[in-house]
Amino acid sequence: MSVNTTLAGRIAVITGASSGLGAATAKRLAADGAKVALLARRADRLEVLAKEIEAEGGTALAIEADVTDATAMRAAAERVRTELGTADLLFNNAGVMLPAPIDERRTDQWQQQIDVNIGGLLNAIDAFVPQLVAAAAEKGVADLINTSSIAAQGVFPGFAVYCGSKAFVTHTSKNLRADLGPKQVRVSAVEPGLVSTELQGHVTDESANAWLDGVRQQLTWLEPEDIAAAVAYLAAQPARVNIQQITVMPTGQAS
């Protein structure tokens, strides 16, 4: 990693930082000069990632925290403020995808997706928005970047609850701009198409796995670094510019 100064002076928080989009984005933001706080449940992975970032000249703080635990998220926010400084960028990224036909009534998986993709998103917002607002007042800009999905726009058999949870992310992000934009906090939703991450490894439904495997053979999926580049691009814009939504698709994916 070659550290530059594109995001020098920024203090970025990444949820879901132990793998996939979160880990790649943490590396990218650190490479661009930001201090990064890494939040996830898997502390061992966070420690490895933090050491990798520090070995390349970056600054990283690993914090074990579950986004579904509002108290833990508030405690994590206090650690960030105390040990790194006031956060001015939140990549609100933790999520889970558990498709299954709706008539199978997998209410346990429905609830898990609601708890993480919606509840976890809001817990992170609750914990860190006060810091974003304070940082924006001091620096003139701060960023709240939420991970949504192309699923927010589409219709995919078996993915109803996941799609609904991501539609919540995209629409809520647009509405948050009405509250936070006047306070110089930019809000953006990133909607990735198919990306090669651990997300697919959590899928238990056979038909969904068969579909995902088939699509993987038909086209080249995005890599986590592609989304990391999009997040860095959003954060590097002049303070007057808020790109409210960005959809990043594999070239071969039509919808």
User: What confidence tens digit (pLDDT) does each residue in 47-95 have?
Assistant: 999 999 999 999 999 999 999 999 999 999 999 999 999 999 999 999 9
Architecture label for domain 11-248? 3-Layer(aba) Sandwich (3.40)
CB 45 within 8 A of CB 99: no
162 as an active site residue: the answer is yes
Order across the sheet with 35-40: list the strands: 59-64, 35-40, 11-15, 89-92, 142-147, 185-192, 245-248
Q: Residue 4: pLDDT band by 50, 70, 90 thresholds?
A: low
Give the Å distances, CA to CA, from 98 to 136, 158, 177, 204, 221: 36, 9, 29, 7, 19
User: Does residue 255 carry a pLDDT above 90?
Assistant: no
Of the candidates 100, 91, 111, which has an alpha carbon nearest to the alpha carbon of residue 10?
A: 91
**More confidently predicted of 209 and 171:** 171
User: Does residue 23 carry a pLDDT above 90?
Assistant: yes
Query: What is the C-alpha separation between 141 and 89, in angstroms, rounded?
Result: 9
Portion of the chain with pLDDT greater than 70, in percent: 96
User: Does residue 189 carry a pLDDT above 70?
Assistant: yes
DSSP 22-50: HHHHHHHHHHTT-EEEEEES-HHHHHHHH
Task: Give the pLDDT confidence score for residue 204 in this predicted structure.
Answer: 77
Token duo for residue 233: 């691009």
Token duo for residue 190: 């990133």
Q: What's the chain's average pLDDT?
A: 93
Catalytic residue among 91, 110, 128, 162: 162
Token duo for residue 200: 């697919």
CB 145 within 8 A of CB 234: yes
Token duo for residue 133: 């607002």
Task: Give the pLDDT confidence score for residue 3 in this predicted structure.
Answer: 47
Query: What is the C-alpha separation between 114 and 160, in angstroms, rounded?
Result: 12
Average pLDDT of span 155-168? 92
CB 188 within 8 A of CB 145: yes
Task: Give the pLDDT confidence score for residue 249 in this predicted structure.
Answer: 93
Give the Å distances, CA to CA, from 35 to 3, 5, 74, 159, 164: 11, 11, 19, 36, 33
